Amino acid sequence: MQKKDSYSKIIAGTMTWGSWGKQFSKAESAALINYCLENGISTFDHADIYGDYTNEAEFGRALIESNVPREKIQLISKCGIQFSAESRNNRVKHYDYLTDYIIWSVERSLQNLKTDYLDMLLLHRPSPLMQPSEIAEAVNKLQTAGKIKNFGVSNFSPSQIKLLEKEIEIDANQVEFSLTQNRAMNDGTLDDIMANDRIAMSWSPLGAYFKEDSPAISKIGHCLKNFCEKYDATEDQLLLAWIMKHPSRIKPVVGTTTKARLTMAAKAVQIEMELQDWFILLEAANGNEVP
């Protein structure tokens, strides 16, 4: 198994690099890969579905163009979600975690990403029909063949992880977690991560702060503006610092493709938020003091 500290503290999310967002050229993606590395972001988060199943191939071509040695980066990918796309003849959105499909999907990701292995494979979302023995058979074959190093899940509850762990060890869980969506602290998700020494990753780490206008967002904004001067930091940096103070050692998956914001995200790891400031922000987000 790969060492759990080998993944960067900030992870670059690639969902919007392709047709679902910026539609970067090969040269632009190659430049962004190098820029991430220059700023200490060496882990890249993928999923087979991104860009209607096209992003991984585009990233793979850009990786070759970038001249970055494979051992200098870590590649995470997810599989399991099936929906209708030009390359998929699906009648309904569903999940597929049969042994043959998991293996086929990983081999396709490897081919597209121009690599011999994934540092981590995640099951994208839990399926009501998943069978631990089917999943374990696929993962064991892939790990034995050296095609994946770590194995984890995304958006799984502790009970769903416990079900899988009848057959296979779970190294990581990538979940939605932010100041404005902090449910994972109270439903056992982060407790499970800490108790079992899993790698924690959060998608949408800035939450609703830059997307919504509500009384809670206004309260958070008032607190952040006061803290920006205190910590000599931006609002987005403080939101990331709030996440990273949690003892589960969460690694935010940042979706920005803006170089300046990537730089700021990388610098957020240096912010040590004071205990009471952390709770002030939590109170603002939840609308009440802790019990």
Give catalytic residues, as residue numbers. 50
Is residue 59 within 8 Å of residue 14, measured between CB atoms? yes
Tokens describing residue 24: 């970067």
- Angle CA(249)–CA(268)–CA(200) in degrees, nearest 5? 20
3-state helix, strand, coil in the chain (%, to 5): 45, 15, 40
3-state DSSP call for residue 258? coil
Q: Which of 135, 78, 134, 76 is nearest to 105 (CA)?
A: 78
Beta strand pairing status for 81-82 and 94-95? antiparallel
CA separation for the pair 160, 81 (Å, rounded):
17
CA-based torsion, 194, 197, 237, 176: positive or negative = negative
Q: How many contiguous H segments (helices) and E segments (strands) does the chain have? A: 11, 10
Give the residue among 189, 152, 124 at the shortest CA–CA distance from 2: 152
Angle between the N-to-C axes of helices 259-267 and 235-244, in degrees from 0 to 180, rounded to the nearest 10: 40
Q: Distance between CA atoms of 158 and 244, rounded to whole angstroms?
A: 21
Structure tokens given for 214: 């509500």
Q: From the centroid of its chain, how far is CA 182?
A: 16
Strands, E assignment, 184-289: 199-203, 251-254
